[in-house]
Amino acid sequence: MESKWVKPFYNRQFEMFAYLHEYSENYLDWAKEIEQQVNQPFQSVLEIGAGNGHLAKAVASLGKDVTTVELVPDLVDFARQDEPLGVTSICASFYDVDLIDSFDVLLYIDGFGVDGDDEQLYLLKRINQWLKPNGVGLIDIYNPNYWKKAAGQSMYIDPSKSVLRKYDYDQENQRMVDTWWEEGAPDDTYTQTLACYKPNEIESLCDQAGLKIVGWFPGGAMDWDEWKYNPKASLEDCLSYRIKVVKS
């Protein structure tokens, strides 16, 4: 069910940037933030779209049992190279992976919206099934207000200044568009495009999936006039926001 861009983009992104291979204390900070946002005792965690596995490693370091689902084989192979006790990495699509267990916590950090509304609704229904009766899901949602303003902006995105990106916005389909290329090769591009949802829109999708939003956590935003990233912004202005969902 995944769009054709998904595997090539995330595989190439991982190849391009050395920092994605390096574990840092930032991951532990993010894991502790997740623990605070869950705000109840938990042990078992399912992370979908788990990427390089570093966040799962950090969550496991807090004494949790983490199962990850990641589509890109190279990313799963990398995660398994240094897989700590308490982490199980699965290479599969979250649309059709067969998971027997249910979980205290479900994480989908930075990536929701790879396909259309029908696919996102299907995924939310699967999330409902994966959660234990009192389980909690944390899901990052891209904010259309921010991405409409970001359209047309371009920048370097690595310290060596050899890779550039340009943002656009697909107004008809309400999707952010993020295109990357290496300097000197502007025709060899890699693009990700993710659905954006206003709070009431994602609330409606969750409701259809039998999920209730019980928490909202706005992220940061780029100030394009000052060319400065602010780590905290309002729900209206943030780049993305995190929702906390439970079974309704």
CB 230 within 8 A of CB 221: yes
**Residue 159, pLDDT above cutoff 80:** no
Please name each of the domains of the chain with its CATH number.
Answer: 6-142+197-218+240-247 (3.40.50.150)
CB 68 within 8 A of CB 87: yes
CB 69 within 8 A of CB 47: yes
Segment 169-175 mean pLDDT: 97
Q: How crowded is the C-beta side of 196, counted as CA atoms within 13 Å?
A: 27
The whole-angstrom separation of Cα 1 and Cα 49 is 14
The whole-angstrom separation of Cα 220 and Cα 213 is 20
CB 150 within 8 A of CB 176: yes
- Give the β-pairing of 240-247 and 131-142: antiparallel
* Amino acid making up residue 185: A
pLDDT tens, position by position, 173-193: 999 999 999 888 889 999 999
Instruction: Supply 114's token pair.
Output: 């790879």
pTM of the shown model: 0.96
Q: For residue 151, name the pLDDT band (cuts at 50, 70, 90).
A: very high
The whole-angstrom separation of Cα 240 and Cα 228 is 16
pLDDT tens, position by position, 39-72: 999 999 999 999 999 999 999 999 999 999 999 9
